[in-house]
Amino acid sequence: MQMPDPNPAILARKAELVARLREVLPADAVISDPAETRAYECDALTAYKCPPLAVVLPASTQEVAEALRICHEMGVPVVPRGAGTSLAGGALPTADSVILGVARMNAVLETDYDNRFIRVQAGRTNLSVTGAVEEQGFFYAPDPSSQLACAIAGNVAMNSGGAHCLKYGVTTNNLMGVTMVLMDGTVIELGGAHLDAGGYDLLGLICGSEGQLGVVTEACLRILHKPEGARPMLIGFDSNEVAGACVSDIIKAGVLPVAIEFMDRPCIRATEDFAHAGYPDCEALLIVEVEGSEAEIDAQLALIEEIARRHDPVELRQSRSEEESARIWLGRKSAFGAMGQINDYMCLDGTIPVSALPHVLRRIGEMSREFGLDVANVFHAGDGNMHPLILYDANRPGDLERCEAFGAEILKLCVEVGGCLTGEHGVGIEKRDLMRCQYGADDLAAQMDVKDVFDPAWLLNPAKVFPLDASSARRAA
Amino acid sequence: MTPRTEAELAAIIREARAPLRIEGGGTRPIGGPTNGARLSTSAMRGIALYEPGALTLVVGAGTPLAEVEAALAAEGQRLAFEPMDHRGLLGTEGTPTIGGVVAANVSGPRRVQVGACRDFLLGVRFVDGAGRIVRSGGRVMKNVTGYDLAKLMAGSYGTLGVLTEVALKVLPAPQAAASLTLRGLDDTRAIAALARALGSPFEVTGAAHLPGKGETLLRIEGFAESVAYRAGRLRELLAGFGTVTVEDDPEAVAACWRDIRDVAAFHGRAGDVWRLSVKPTDAPGIVAGLGGVEALHDWGGGLIWLLAPEGRGQAIRAAVAARGGHATRVRGTGADAFHPRPAPVAALEAGLRRRFDPRGLFNPGLMDGTREGA
Ligand SMILES: Cc1cc2nc3c(=O)[nH]c(=O)nc-3n(C[C@H](O)[C@H](O)[C@H](O)COP(=O)(O)OP(=O)(O)OC[C@H]3O[C@@H](n4cnc5c(N)ncnc54)[C@H](O)[C@@H]3O)c2cc1C
């Protein structure tokens, strides 16, 4: 992975930069000791590491603005950071950059049940947003698996999804407004407690922009009342094709499950060894969850069962109780942990049209043999968001490179069948150099034009999203 | 000019030396006056791909909305965001196109529950002011690859590019629907009743208050037994607000919500029409403070339609600005149809416009407010 060379002029001015930051931030909010900055050298894509020049941990929008103004004046790149759980290297520093972490900004600013929103500082963790409203029976819908740790700031930057987004949508569909600081320190408000934009939909534009257009300091989020209940059903099939066809039929029938999760045989086996959830030994397994009152759940599950029966399932289990529900989810929820036990793994997240599922799974199986690396598939089938987990051994020379090459082939395949490189994790550095597989030169230029408008000096979150050679002229300008 | 292909369109734009007025069906003449040669998308039409099992539709921007809706209905599906038909309200004729729906981010009552047009937009193709053919997003449900230019295009009224193709997420049409009506509530009580219903687990897909008729309405949709069950639960929940009557005749329910969607109560009546997006509980105060206007409330109070005499713009804008939100004049004359944005936001919008339409060809003046400070 190529990163731009650090700017020696910036490295040389470290002391001056730190001194200026200390003038506007409390002493403990500016970290410059290399022993301490190392804690920020990577995110969850741990294969890539680089300690930043310094770290700032502001406590308010005002402090963020002051810190950015100084970095802007001195021409220092800034990498915004939430909780550092990005799987794409989105929060990877460069040696000449300042990490701006929003973790200290975690207050709830306003909850309004009549108007169904909550306003929080952006460093608040995803799960604790729901935590703040659940006593009143409400929840915040987007639920990435990392929700215990990840921050709303990162969710907004990555437009993160979760297991329940088939019904409730991803971050952008639940984000009503933000307070954001531009690189030059200007504070802007986009959206709010009302719906839709009055001019251009800049809120929609900044959601998913990977920290490259501004630093989000506050967010206004839509909250919903919890459903009366939810129960899953487990369906096993003896082929991926049939499981894929069943997903399509369920969707067509007009039931809108909150989740349709898919696991293939390698994944089922690994999780069984690890979690002993009692899954059937079959080629493909679906977990379909529906919501509503008891009677509504029964009716929907009956309909799904009827559809599934037409596809000759090898196993079919409707949950009748909390305990059975937990058992059905147990394996799925421990899938990543199970993989981690076996080996190092790389998690991809390309999205494909649901109809291409059987073809893509077959090709991944073939490529797995060609590359000599095992793959397990576990993913959100309802919306085609794949999560192939490629197993490799970080201690074996050449394995990581082989794994990355294999991963790139899988992502190209996703694009080839009409899908995309990333459904929820973001481009970061990981998929930066694959962007040309999905987008032509003009498509990328149009996106980079947006970057030029928001951050003309290209200081915010450098070297992410766009291939370096595609952006070099703009960065130099 | 009526290009048939994206390439023809790009050539026209590259060669253009004077402003262009971008038109789909011409049924939604919203915005400030704009002159220029008419450029119609109507020949770039047709359904390129429709996969009911994947809930995806890819369609030429000039395709009539009715054609799209018919194709979906044949598979028991629909555009869940329920785009309104502006013809009755704006006194226009013509054939609404799907591109026009996206360009104006047109949604209906169901927006409060399922999201706006922009939330269903999976991808776009467009030609920008330099004649570049640009693609953003795609046809899959989840996609965070690069910046979301599709959202930027939705609601930009053709001022950043001419849409040629849009990809949309569609949803199954429900088996049954019902309307619940409360009568005689004042605005504050009505909005409170709607908030109670929207804050319940019963998945309300329409929440409107029509002061003229003295009716406060809710809609629920889904499988028949589920609709009946939720209607019963909502009736209990709202008992404190009065007697709830339930209508479940499909035709009657559809007609009732079509009228709300299309603001039928204001059709053919003199005056300016304003569309206000506000925090729902602010709505009664805004309307009461204005006086001399007639109001309809949708989205649980979050959307106010106002019929107002000419010249009330400043008062309306001030009332909204004091509380947060925005006001668009969708019918009436003048240059300031769109709500002025604060200076730094206006500067970003102007910057985007310079990038995507460097020669200022597309609908100049239409979204004025972009350049104003406030
Ligand atoms: C075990 C595990 C499971 C996961 N499961 C899911 C999942 O189910 N769905 C999913 O979508 N993702 C998932 N992720 C990925 C990750 O959790 C998400 O991308 C998350 O949103 C990142 O949030 P964060 O606060 O950790 O952000 P960080 O990793 O700190 O940063 C992510 C990006 O956001 C930018 N950023 C951070 N703060 C700001 C700010 N204030 N303003 C502007 N930009 C900012 C950063 O520069 C970076 O580009 C998972 C990760 C792990 C490790």
pLDDT digits (tens, 9 = 90+) for B170-210: 999 999 999 999 999 999 999 999 999 999 999 999 999 99
Provide the domain limits for residue B315.
265-331
Residue A140 pairs with which residues in a beta bridge? none
State the distance from the centre of ligand 1 to the C-alpha of B80, rounded, in angstroms: 30
Residues B161 and B233 in one domain: no
8 A C-beta contact, residue B96 and residue B24: yes
pLDDT at residue B371 greater than cutoff 50: no
Phi, psi of B22 (to 5 degrees): -85, 130
β-bridge partners, A54: A98
Contacts of B134 in chain A (CB under 8 A): 442-443, 446
Alpha-carbon dihedral sign for residues B209, B212, B214, B217: negative
Q: Chain A: nearest CA to B343, how far in angstroms?
A: 9
Query: With an 8 Å Cβ cutoff, are B148 and A384 in contact?
Result: no
Helices (H), A372-440: 399-416, 435-438
Pocket test for ligand 1, best of A145, A213, A261, A346 (most atoms within 8 A of CB): A145
Domain boundary pick from B122, B150, B172: B172
The span from the CA of A179 to the CA of A214, in Å, is 10
Q: Over 90: is that where the pLDDT of B370 sits? A: no
Same domain as B36, residue B24: yes
Chain B residues whose CB is inside 8 A of the A442 CB are 132-134
Mean pLDDT, chain A, whole residue set? 95
- How many interchain CB pairs under 8 A, A with B? 266
On the 0-12 / 13-18 / 19+ scale of CB atoms within 10 A, A466 is: buried
pLDDT at B353: 96
Q: Which amino acid is at A230?
A: A
**Both tokens assigned to B150:** 């599709």
Q: Does residue B80 lie in a domain region?
A: yes
Kindly state whether residue B233 falls inside one of the protein's structural domains.
yes
User: In A, residues 182-241, which contact B (CB 8 Å cutoff)?
Assistant: 182, 186-190, 192-205, 207-209, 225-228
Q: Is B189 helix (H, G, I), strand (E, B) or coil?
A: helix
Nearest CA in chain A to B328: A198
pLDDT confidence of residue A163: 85
What CATH number corresponds to the domain at position B282?
3.30.70.250
The minimal CB distance from B344 to the residues A138, A188, A209 is found for A188
Residues B22 and B67 in one domain: yes
The pTM for the full model equals: 0.97
- Partner-chain contact A158 B151, CB within 8 Å: no
Closest CA to ligand 1's atom 5 = A145
B157 to chain A, closest Cα gap in Å: 9
Q: Look at chain B and report how many structural domains it folds into.
A: 3
Minimal-distance CA residue of chain B relative to A136: B199
Q: How far apart are CA A464 and CA B372, in angstroms?
A: 33
Residue B351: inside a domain, yes or no?
no
What does the pLDDT average to over B72-93? 97
- CATH code of B190's domain: 3.30.70.920
pLDDT level of residue B334 (50, 70, 90 thresholds)? confident
Pairing of strands B245-247, B176-183: antiparallel
Whether residue B325 is contained in a domain is answered as yes
DSSP tally for chain B: helices H, then strands E: 12, 17
Q: Which pLDDT tens digit goes with each residue over A234-274?
A: 999 999 889 989 998 998 888 889 999 999 999 999 899 88
Is residue B371, in this structure, part of any structural domain at all?
no
- Give the mutation target among A97, A102, A150, A346 for probing the ligand 1 site: most ligand atoms within 8 A of CB: A150
Instruction: Using the 3D structure, point to which of B129, B151, B172 is the last residue of a domain.
Output: B172
- B212 and B134: one domain? no
Which chain A residue lies closest to B327 (C-alpha atoms)?
A: A198
Q: Are residues B136 and B192 both part of a single domain?
A: no
The confidence score (pLDDT) of residue B369 equals 59
CA of A425 relative to ligand 1 center, distance in Å? 7
Tell me: do B219 and B234 sit in the same domain: yes
Domains of chain A: 8-101 (3.30.43.10), 230-336 (3.30.70.3450), 343-416 (3.30.70.2740)
- 8 Å CB contact between A354 and A247: yes
* Residue B359 in domain: no
Structure tokens at A253: 């029938």
Q: What distance in Å separates residue A190's CA from the closest CA in chain B?
A: 8
The answer to whether residues B80 and B24 belong to one domain is yes
- What's the first-to-final CA gap in chain A, in angstroms? 24
Q: Pick from B139, B145, B339: which is nearest to A353 by CB?
A: B139
Residue B370 falls within a domain, yes or no?
A: no
State whether B211 and B227 are in the same domain: yes
Half-sphere exposure of A41 (CA within 13 A, CB side): 13
The confidence score (pLDDT) of residue A338 equals: 85
pLDDT for res A335: 85
Q: DSSP state, B85? A: P
Residue B368 has pLDDT above 80, yes or no: no
Task: Print burial letters for A305-343: b (CB count within 10 Å at least 16), e (below 16).
Answer: bebbeebebbebbbbeeeebbebbbbbbbbbbebbeeeb
- Minimal CA separation from B43 to chain A, in Å: 24
How many C-beta atoms lie closer than 10 Å to residue A149's C-beta? Answer: 16
> What 3-state class would DSSP assign to A338?
helix
Confidence of residue B33 (pLDDT cuts 50, 70, 90): confident
Spell out which residues of chain B touch residue A169, defining contact as CB-CB under 8 Å.
Answer: 115, 119
Which atom of ligand 1 is the closest one to the Cα of A211?
44
Q: Is A94 in the pocket of ligand 1 (CB under 6 A)?
A: no
CA distance A218 to A180: 7
Helix (H, G, I), strand (E, B) or coil at A271: helix
Using the mean position of ligand 1's atoms as its centre, give its distance from the Cα of residue A215 in Å: 14
Q: Which residues of chain A have pLDDT under 50?
A: none
Angle between helices A294-309 and A240-252 (to 10 degrees): 130
Write out the H or E segment, with its range, that includes residue B72.
Answer: helix B65-74
Residue A453 to residue B151, Cβ atoms within 8 A: no
Q: How far is CA A148 from the centre of its chain?
A: 13
Residue B134: CATH number of its domain = 3.30.465.10
Cα(B163)–Cα(B155) distance, integer angstroms = 12
Nearest by CB to A351, which of B143, B198, B349?
A: B143
Q: Tell which atom from ligand 1 comes closest to the C-alpha of A210.
A: 49
User: Do B77 and B10 sit in the same domain of this protein?
Assistant: yes
* Closest Cα in chain B, distance from residue A15 (Å): 32
Domain membership of residue B367 (yes or no) is no
Specify whether B151 is located in the same domain as B47.
yes
In a shared domain, residues B287 and B189: no
Helix H or strand E encompassing B330: strand B325-331
Among B53, B142, B355, select the one facing A383 at the smallest CB separation: B142
- Residue B374 is predicted with a pLDDT of 33
Which of these three, B235, B261, B287, is where a domain ends?
B261
| Residue B251 CB burial class (10 angstroms; 0-12, 13-18, ≥19) | exposed
> Across the interface, do B145 and A200 touch by the CB < 8 Å criterion?
no
ipTM score assigned to the predicted complex:
0.97
Residue-level pLDDT at A358: 86
User: Which pLDDT tens digit goes with each residue over B256-305?
Assistant: 999 999 999 999 999 999 999 999 999 999 999 999 999 999 999 999 99
Q: Which residues of A touch B141 (CB under 8 A)?
A: 166, 351, 382-385, 423
A355 lines ligand 1 (CB under 6 A): no
Name the residue with the closest Cα to ligand 1, atom 21.
Answer: A155
Same-domain pairing of B192 and B250: yes
Tell me the HSE value of A385 on the side-chain side, using a 13 A CA sphere.
28
> What are φ and ψ of residue B124, in 5° steps?
-140, 160
Nearest by Cα to B196 from A230, A116, A294, A134: A116
* d(CA A298, nearest CA chain B) in Å: 11
